Copies of this chain bind each other. A is one copy, B any other.
Amino acid sequence: MSNLKIQKLNIKIERSIAIINAKTLAKLSIQPSANVKIKSLNSEIMCEVMSTDDLIEPGFIGLTEGQIKDLQSKVDKKVKVYTRRRPASIEFIKQKQAGKIWSESQLRSIVSDITFGQYTDMEISMFTLAQYYKGLNMDEVQFLTQSMVEFGATLDFGEPVYDKHSIGGIPGNKISLVIVPTVAAAGLLIPKTSSRAITSPSGTADTMEVLCEVNFSSDEMLEIAPKVRGMLVWGCKLDLSPLDDIVIHRVEQPLGIDPHSQMLASIFSKKVCTGVDHMVLDIPTGAGSKMPTRESAIQYAHESTELGRRLGIHIEAALSYGEQPLGKAVGPALEAKEALEVLLGKGPTSVFEKSNELTGILFEMAGLAQAGQGSSLAADFILKGKAQAKMEQILEAQGGNPKVTPEDIEIGQYTADIQAPKDGYIVKLSNVGIKKVAYAAGCPNHKKAGIYLHKKGGDFCKKDETLMTIYSDSESRLTEAVNLAVNLSPYILEGMIIKRISSGTKV
């Protein structure tokens, strides 16, 4: 009696769970909470078993709609249930304890097993944490990347592909929405895939989604991008690196970690899959960024260019100032608005300058500009309205409103201003503090939530002048964000810390 009839469960949960009657489980000698394999005629999935006395009748198995689809089966069809054996590749992971260097074939079987759903979440965490605690050498990172490419989809555009990548970590880094149209305006192909927020209040995909669709299939990208020359797409839908999506979703986000080797493999596997030939790599550097010291940033740049060399991607890395948020807007809607302003020649200088510097490097790599001349050419494309015109084409091609203006963008109706507690220069504006306040306000899930930074590091402000405005679409989240802003003090004014210590005054 290992044949069970499928019954549909109207339950949604990320974890894969099957509900089976306790009597059936006893007959099958399966323990509640065991991990089992469910096999249909054409497919199989792994589940954790929940035992019930009455929700599901004996002989049936309760599965969610998504699981039934993954099994390519239907309600009332039969499936077989097996106790799952722990995949052999887990033994390779354990060897990392003793400092074992993983071979190409070992990494290949680990990646294959995770990709094909053979690992539990906790086993995936054992792999990710092996990287986190022990680190990988360059050979291992290369093999990991190549295995991830092997088990993912690939896109072949048949012509040189350009790309910009930022390692992230600082809030407000909306420059892809400026760089992609500028690069595309010059005729270069830049079909950029990006992620949703992992460690910032808004990922490029979250921000772009305020303006248009970001979910495209590989076929759609292959059709649209060569014509329009540029796209900004959420990478996940393309299945470029299934392992990466699994690891990010099921381990890295829940634990709040991003191991160096996995980060490299994540970035580069997607680049190889989308056929990237030339790439500029933005490495925000400094206290509060992912690369707190210049040395760590330089080492990262060397590793990346070396990994690029091994994988056939020409890379120029650029260290950028990463000690405070970029520009003035933080959060999906606010950032989309600011990007549109920059394309209109308005908006903060820091966003305009950084975008043009990075675009300029791509122009120089493509031979469109002499060394050192790329960024002024990029500025030209913006100031002459060419980048803005290209953005309209991109928005139209991605199902958005091409005529959208910055003023059209809706932002949270609940707002609160945070004022300066005293006169003084701003000596620090903390990435971490701004991120936490933005999360509390609702970022990245609530697109209208965010922060507008009226003042940045180095600015002078007078007592009671507004430092930042917090936006939210929920009054309670706004209150929480304001409380957090008061507690965390993301702005530090000259002399402020000393005063806090001696008198207990808080911002």
Chain A interface (Cβ < 8 Å from any Cβ of B): 9-15, 17, 19, 22, 29, 31-33, 48-55, 86, 90, 94, 96-97, 120-123, 125-126, 129-130, 132-134, 251, 254-257, 445, 474, 477
| Least CB distance, A240 to chain B, in whole angstroms | 23
Contact A126 B255 (CB under 8 A): yes
The CA of A341 and the CA of B47, in the complex, are separated in Å by 44
Contact at B125–A256, with CB atoms within 8 Å?
no
A254 pairs with B52, CB closer than 8 A: no
A133 to B132: give the CA distance in the assembly, Å.
10
Q: Are B50 and A13 in contact (CB under 8 A)?
A: yes
- With a cutoff of 8 Å between Cβ atoms, the chain B residues found around residue A133 in the complex are 96-97, 129-130, 133-134
> Closest approach, in angstroms, between the C-beta of A330 and any C-beta of chain B?
20
Determine whether the beta carbon of B15 is less than 8 Å from that of A11: no
Chain B neighbourhood of A125, CB < 8 A:
122, 125-126, 129
Known: A122-B122, A125-B129. A52 touches B255 (CB 8 A): no
Set B19, B53, B94, B445: member contacting A257, Cβ < 8 A? B94
Chain B: minimal CB distance from A485 (Å): 17
> Which of B12, B120, B130 touches A254 (beta carbons < 8 Å)?
B120
Please list 25 pairs of residues, one from A and one from B, whose beta carbons are closer than 8 Å in the complex, sorted by A's number: A9-B52, A9-B55, A10-B52, A10-B54, A11-B50, A11-B55, A12-B32, A12-B51, A12-B52, A13-B32, A13-B33, A13-B48, A13-B49, A13-B50, A14-B33, A15-B48, A29-B477, A86-B256, A94-B256, A94-B257, A123-B254, A125-B125, A129-B130, A130-B133, A133-B134
Q: Which 8 A-B pairs have the closest CB atoms?
A: A133-B133, A14-B33, A12-B51, A13-B50, A129-B129, A10-B53, A12-B32, A10-B54
Contact of A12 among B12, B22, B256 (CB under 8 A): B22
**Shortest distance between the CB of A13 and any CB in chain B (Å):** 4
- CA–CA, A12 and B52, complex, Å: 6
B residues near A94, Cβ cutoff 8 Å: 256-257
A57 to chain B, nearest CB (A): 12
Q: Are A29 and B255 in contact (CB under 8 A)?
A: no
Q: Give the CA-CA distance A146 to B134 in the complex, in Å.
A: 28
- Are B29 and A474 in touch, CB under 8 angstroms? yes
A296 to chain B, nearest CB (A): 12
Least distance between A94 CB and chain B CB atoms (Å): 7
> How many angstroms between the C-alpha atoms of A133 and B98 in the bound complex?
8
Instruction: Name, among A12, A49, A51, A134, the residue most crowded by chain B CB atoms within 10 Å (CB to CB).
Output: A12
Can you add 10 more A-B contacts, CB < 8 Å, to A12-B32, A13-B17, A97-B132?
A: A10-B54, A11-B50, A12-B52, A13-B50, A15-B48, A31-B445, A90-B255, A122-B255, A125-B129, A129-B129
Q: A32 — which chain B residues lie within 8 A by C-beta? A: 12-14
Query: Once the chains are docked, how many angstroms separate the CA of A19 from the CA of B17?
Result: 13
Q: In the complex, which of the residues B33, B55, B134 contacts A15, with contact meaning CB atoms closer than 8 Å? A: B33
| Nearest-neighbor residue (CB-CB) of A98 within chain B | B133
Expressed in whole angstroms, the minimum distance between the Cβ of A268 and any Cβ of chain B is 22
Residues on B with C-beta less than 8 A from A257 are 94, 126
Whether the pair A13, B255 counts as a contact (CB closer than 8 A) is: no
Min C-beta distance of A477 to chain B, whole Å:
8
